Amino acid sequence: MVFNDWFDRNKVKEDPMKKDKIKPDKKNKSNNDGKHIHKALGPKEKATSEGEPWVSVISVEIDENNIGNGAFELDWNEIFVARLVKAGFTGKTDIDIVDQWFKTVCQNVVMEHFEQEMADPEKRQRHQYLGE
């Protein structure tokens, strides 16, 4: 499954965990003691306010008929996308850029696993018998 297709069908939904969180207010408010009241920021808002990149897996969808297939729903901030562009990732939209990054991460996981398999003589021998 191409992640872009999945993203197009499943636009990033509001994180249900964020519904209960208080949104930051741009005005400084004080309580009766004159102390500032700090409203809770979600992880994305906190990272963004601190100028840090942020990405998170919002949900994982598994194909019931083929447990090896599925999709991840990601959310990110603009700073994360800017860092990806600076690192050389390209695309027409933010979704394209993040999709390219996510595919690269997945490919790296597969390659690391393969390299570990090939470093083990017994497993390497088994791969040769299987014609790999």
**pLDDT tens, residue by residue, 37-75:** 557 899 999 999 999 999 999 999 999 999 989 999 999
**pLDDT tens, residue by residue, 88-130:** 999 999 999 999 999 999 999 999 988 888 887 777 666 665 5
pTM, entire model? 0.61
Give the closest residue to 73 by CA, choosing from 61, 83, 65, 62: 61
Residues with Cβ within 8 Å of residue 71, at least 6 apart in sequence: 1, 3, 6, 10, 60, 61
The mean pLDDT of 2-18, rounded to a whole number, is: 45
Which pair of tokens denotes residue 80?
């994360």
Task: Check residues 6 and 53 and name the one with the higher pLDDT.
Answer: 53
- Report the first-to-last Cα separation within the chain, whole angstroms: 24
pLDDT at residue 129, as a whole number? 55
